[in-house]
Amino acid sequence: MSYAECFSAFGPLVGSREERGNVLTVLGVPFDGTTSYRPGARFGPNAIREAFLNVEAYSNVLKVDVEKLKLRDLGNLSRVSGPDETTRMVTKVTKELVQRGQRYCMLGGEHSITLGSFRNAPENTAFVVFDAHFDLRDEWEGSRLSHACYLRRITEEREPSIVAHVGGRAATEEEWRLARKFGLTVKPLDADGHGSLGRFKRFLSKFKRVYVSIDIDGLDPAFAPGTGTPEPGGLTTLTLLKYIYALKGTEITAFDIVEVSPPYDNGSTTTAAARFMNELAALVYLQSKKP
């Protein structure tokens, strides 16, 4: 029995559980045990799946009909008591996927789950994150594995220069200082400015592959109210899509979409998350078609 079979529980699926021949593996991690403001991200994986099944699947920009792609859905991993056990579980499951050559989409849940997943990214993998927060605190409310600390832990295990952070606008003074070590930082006010996408593409060109993490609060609350820690002054949905399309031609090993909290949503948040999932799945497919 694989770790995925051991830890996963059935839920609404966006694909079959068959491993062979799939373009992308989907798994959910319904954990929000360290959420610091409004809980509810545990309901995110199923809500994103439901929206994904109801948005138009054809990507006119990328010319890919995602509805025709073979997706594998493992369902949701079991809920556990704390971030330590959740991180270990995510690490085991995603390591197994990487070893089997599976590209995957992880649906959260809170952002702390990304630590367990990115640990398995191969060397020379860039970490591209869209987020309102830098999540560089050393600890939060007694936990060093809080969703406010996950990127601090990643930059202790990997060089900070592999990080491209887009949308950051809410952080402590220390976090702003630590963020200067990133390979690229794009604030929301600069995201649509002259040359920002060019700088982003030049950053990507330094790496063989990329891991993408979308914290939905990277968007302005006007576009994504359904999140646990909303922060005004964020990215528009269209701006974030432009950055996703700028990933075309880059090898995406995995991506995650986190911090969607359906209890606070009017439908726009899960729909945005589903659109990002759809377009990233299309990019993974295009990469798989390369000779």
**The predicted structure's pLDDT at residue 4:** 65
Q: Which residue has the tokens 């439901």?
A: 50
> Which two three-digit tokens encode residue 56?
């138009």
Residue 98: pLDDT over 80: yes
Model pTM score: 0.94
Which has more confidence, 2 or 70? 70
Which among 246, 190, 241 has a CA at the least distance from the CA of 219? Answer: 241
16-20, 126-130, 193-197, 271-275: range with lowest mean pLDDT = 16-20
Q: What is the pLDDT of residue 46?
A: 95
User: pLDDT band at 11, cuts 50/70/90?
Assistant: low
Work out the average pLDDT over 149-167: 98
Please report, for residues 33, 113, 147, 153, the alpha-carbon distance to residue 143 in angstroms, rounded to integers and kept in the order given.
11, 14, 9, 12
pLDDT in tens, 38-76: 999 999 999 999 999 999 999 999 999 999 999 999 999
Q: Average per-residue pLDDT in the chain?
A: 94
Domain extents in the chain: 3-288
Q: Note the pLDDT tens digit of each residue in 166-221.
A: 999 999 999 999 999 999 999 999 999 879 999 999 999 999 999 999 999 999 99
Q: What is the mean pLDDT of residues 26-45?
A: 94
Q: What is the pLDDT of residue 5?
A: 62
Sign of the Cα torsion 134, 135, 141, 142 reads: negative
| pLDDT of residue 10 exceeding 60 | no
Which CATH entry fits the domain spanning 3-288: 3.20.20.140, 3.40.800.10, 3.40.50.150, 3.40.630.190?
3.40.800.10
Structure confidence by residue, pLDDT tens digits, 218-239: 999 999 999 999 999 999 999 9
Query: Parallel, antiparallel, or unpaired: how do β-strands 58-59 and 71-77 relate?
Result: unpaired
pLDDT at residue 80, as a whole number: 76
Residue 14's pLDDT is what?
83
Query: Among 19-33, 197-211, 261-275, which is the least confidently predicted range?
Result: 19-33
Kindly list the distances between the CA atom of residue 204 and the CA atoms of 7, 126, 133, 162, 163, in Å, as whole numbers in the listed order: 34, 7, 21, 9, 10
Tell me how far apart the terminal alpha carbons of the chain are, to the nearest angstrom.
33
pLDDT of 92 above 80: yes
